[in-house]
Amino acid sequence: MNRSRFFQLLRYFHIANNQQMPAANDNREKFCKIRPLLSTLQSISPEEYQAIDEQMIPFKNRSSLKQYVNHKPHKWGYESFTRARVSGMTYDLKIYVDKITCNERGLGFSGDNVLALTDSLPEKQQHKVFADN
């Protein structure tokens, strides 16, 4: 498939219905268009071994949620925590919005995000989750 055909198809690719979107008053609702995709990823039956790590999603356009992290290869973009399987497929994703929402449990930035990503794991199953600081 050539580049122009890809962009032609991408123009008609929608994940969410624009008429059912809430007003974007809250920073958490800025990602409401990708919520159906995230819920689909969370519904996939997870493997036994998983990893949680932070990543930078490269983005250079204007956005109030864009972060600058000096020590990353992609310095501008969306900072996120991702729970993925060994092959790299993402099961769950939590995008950094602000410091207030990241310290809900009192375990610090990394600890709260790791626990938030493991909340969507099914109960009564043995999962091995690896994370670094």
* pTM of the full structure: 0.71
pLDDT tens, 34-80? 788 888 887 887 788 888 988 888 988 888 788 888 888 888 998 88
CA–CA separation, 76 and 70 (whole Å): 9
DSSP code at position 54 = E
Q: Which residue has the tokens 């071994």?
A: 49
- Enter the tokens of residue 101: 């929402």
pLDDT tens, 1-35? 899 999 999 888 877 777 777 665 555 567 777 78
**Strand-pair category, 76-85 with 67-68:** antiparallel
16 touches 33 (CB < 8 A)? yes
Question: What are the residue boundaries of the structural domains of the chain, listed by start?
Answer: 3-17+25-131
Element (H, E) at 85: strand 76-85
